[in-house]
Homo-oligomer: A and B are copies of this chain.
C-alpha cells in the first residue's frame, strides 16, 4: 500500500464578505501551493473541489483557472464534512495507485445557504443549526452540570488562539463576560457561542511517498482515518441522551485503530467547534477526557486544541473548514506554524462533522 503525504498546504484569509468569486477564492491557496513548492502543474493527477456552493462543474472551472489539466476532477459535497471527505477520497486515489498527486481545494462564499436544513422533517420548525446545538448544550448541562461559563470559555480560548492567526476572522480578545452578555440566540446558546459563516478557502496537496520525497524534506503522513455516517436527520444524530456524538466516537475509534495509537498519543488537534458545546462534546467523544468532564477539560494545558483558533476564531467557510483544519495540523507537525507553533508535536488529529453530527471524520497525521 502506498503511503500518502500531506506535502503542501495553504489557507487564504477568511473574510466576512469579499468581492471574490467562489473560483477566485478557491484559486488563492492553490496558487500559493504551486508557487512555493517544487510541484509542476502537469504533475497533478486529480483536482477535488470541496464546496457546498450550487455552482456546477466547479472543480473543472477551478482546474481551468489554475491552468491544470488533471486526469480526475470533480466536486465533493457533504456539508461541513465536505473537506475531510475530499481528503479521504484523495488519500484513496493515491493509496490505490490510481494517482500520485491530488490537489484538494475547498472554498465557500458566506452566501452559500447551509444554515438551515429545510429537508429535515425530523426537526419540525427547528431547522436552524443553532437549535440542535442548544439541545446538546442543555442536555449536557442537565446531566453533567456543565455550565454556560465553561462553554463561554471555549470561545474565549479559541479567539485568543486566533489572535496569532493572520487568516482568522476574529483576531481580538473577548472575555467570558462578553460571551455571557452577548445576544441569546436559542437558550442557552448565545451569539458568541456560535461560529460565523464566512468567505474563505484552503487547499492541501497530497502526494505518494515517491513524489513527496522529491517535493519536501519533511512530509507529514496520513497515519489513520475514521469515518462514520448515521444519516442526515436530527433524530439520527446522537445517542439516546443527546450528550455525545456517536459518529465522532465511531470515527475516532476507527482512526486510532488504523494509526495504532491511543488518544493520549495526540499532541495537537483541530476539532469541530462550530458551537462551543461541540468542543466539549468532541473532547469527550475523541477520548481526551471522560464523558461528562469536557466542560472542565477545555480549561487545561495538556493538549493543544484548535491552535489556529478553531472554527469559532477563524470563521466557518463550510467547504474549506476541513482543509483549513488539516492545513493547520500539517503546519504544526512540520514545525511551520510560526507564532502559533506548539513545540514537539509528533502526532495530530483532525475532527470534522456535519449536520448535528450525523456524519463525522477523524484523520490522524504524523511525522
Point out residues on A near B: beta carbons under 8 Å.
Answer: 1, 47, 52, 54-61, 63-64, 69-79, 81-82, 85-86, 88-89, 91-93, 95-98, 114, 117, 119, 225-233, 236, 251, 254, 354-355, 358-359
Contact = CB atoms under 8 A, between A and B. Distances in A.
B1 A227 contact: no
Contacts of A232: 57, 60-61, 63-64
A85 B74 contact: yes
Contacts of A236: 64
List the 9 closest A-B pairs by CB distance, nearest first. Answer: A64-B231, A95-B96, A74-B78, A96-B96, A54-B54, A60-B232, A73-B229, A92-B96, A74-B85
Contact of A61 (B1, B56, B59, B119): B119
A56 to B, nearest CB: 6
A98 B95 contact: yes
A86 B82 CA distance: 15
B93 A98 contact: no
Contacts of A77: 56-59, 74-75, 77
A71 B226 CA distance: 8
Contacts of A254: 71
Contacts of A63: 229, 231-232
Contact of A78 (B54, B55, B60, B85): B60
B97 A229 contact: no
Contact of A96 (B71, B73, B91): B91
B72 A85 contact: yes
- Tallying the copies of this chain within the complex gives 2
B75 A76 contact: yes
B98 A231 contact: no
Given A95-B98, A98-B92, A230-B69, A358 B74 contact: no
B95 A1 contact: no
A78 to B, nearest CB: 4
21 contacts: A1-B97, A47-B229, A52-B56, A57-B232, A60-B78, A60-B231, A60-B354, A60-B358, A61-B231, A63-B229, A64-B358, A71-B226, A72-B229, A73-B359, A74-B82, A76-B76, A89-B89, A89-B92, A89-B93, A91-B98, A92-B92
A61 B70 CA distance: 30
B47 A354 contact: no
A71 B229 contact: yes
Nearest to A69: B230
A60 B359 contact: yes
A226 B72 CA distance: 9
Contacts of A64: 230-233, 236, 358
B56 A79 contact: yes
A72 B86 CA distance: 11
A57 B355 contact: yes
A135 B166 CA distance: 49
Nearest to A81: B74
A78 B47 CA distance: 12
Nearest to A22: B119
